Amino acid sequence: MREIVLDTETTGFEPSEGDRIVEIGAVELFNHMPTGKVFHEYIDPQRSMPDAAFQVHGLGDDFLRGKPLFIDIADKFLDFVGDATMVIHNAAFDMKFLNAELEWAKRKTLPMSQALDTLAIARKKFPGSPASLDALCRRFGVDNGAREKHGALLDSEILAEVYLELIGGRQPDLVLSSGTTEKKGEVQVDTNWRPKPRPTALTSRLTESEAVAHAEFVAKLGDGSVWSKFSS
């Protein structure tokens, strides 16, 4: 199962009011384990950065000037995401911005059904408790010491750890590699594993007297019994 843990940084709260994405960070999981593949882009929003947003992520006009436009990285982003589930904290916010940018770039938008909201999961699992990413890091003991400011790639890496704790900890699917394998992402998944027969059969522990007693018992059940059919 392929999943993309994703985060964005923006110039504000509303694309309908001219706010834009300035950073996208995403990490790939396969069977709930990081593959090492990431997507990370800084984006020139073609507008000035409000001070309130700058205080959150520290991405200013001088740094972003000359970075790719969203339209320049749109296809690369869509190829990376593919049809994988996108794990996002407060998914409605990021999806709103991503789909606005995709529409402006005349690319296909992403259905909300493709997003999995970890904020909603946390609120359901811990009702009444703080559910911010920092609060969940404290709850699960996830190290977020490098998070002085928000950063899309760093936050997606932290969210991946939090997400795995939310769904029950690091318990990836058991993969047995023997025989024919099918390549999915960077993981070799065996699709035809079967237990091999023992080279030497185990010695029966049934005693002679037990065998005689069993045969007498089966005989009493009659020819229509399951044991009689099995024995024959």
CATH code, domain carrying 71: 3.30.420.10
pTM listed for this prediction: 0.72
Mean pLDDT for 178-193 is 44
- Of 166, 200, 221, the residue that ends a domain is 166
- The model's confidence at residue 216, banded by pLDDT at 50, 70 and 90, is confident
* Strands of the chain, DSSP E: 2-10, 21-30, 33-42, 85-88, 115-117, 181-184, 187-190
- Nearest CA to 86 out of 26, 148, 173, 169 is that of 26
Q: How many domains does the chain have?
A: 2
> Does pLDDT of 228 surpass 50?
yes
8 A C-beta contact, residue 166 and residue 121: yes
- Domain-embedded: residue 198: no
In a shared domain, residues 63 and 155: yes
Position 199: which residue type? P
- The model's confidence at residue 218, banded by pLDDT at 50, 70 and 90, is confident
Q: What is the overall mean pLDDT for the chain?
A: 85
In a shared domain, residues 138 and 39: yes
Catalytic residues: 150
- Domain-embedded: residue 127: yes
As to burial, measured by CB atoms within 10 angstroms (0-12 exposed, 13-18 middle, 19+ buried), residue 122 is buried
Rounded (5°) CA angle 226-229-232: 145
User: CB under 8 Å to 184, separation ≥6 — which residues?
Assistant: 2, 30
In a shared domain, residues 51 and 128: yes
* Residue 224, domain extent: 208-232
- The model's confidence at residue 26, banded by pLDDT at 50, 70 and 90, is very high
Angstrom distance (rounded) from CA 26 to CA 153: 6
Q: Cα–chain-centroid distance for residue 206?
A: 50
- The model's confidence at residue 217, banded by pLDDT at 50, 70 and 90, is confident
In a shared domain, residues 99 and 9: yes
> Does pLDDT of 147 surpass 80?
no
In a shared domain, residues 50 and 135: yes
In a shared domain, residues 132 and 39: yes
Angstrom distance (rounded) from CA 99 to CA 142: 30
- Nearest CA to 4 out of 100, 131, 95 is that of 95
Contacts 24+ apart (CB under 8 A), 109-112: 110/81, 110/86
Mean pLDDT for 30-36 is 94
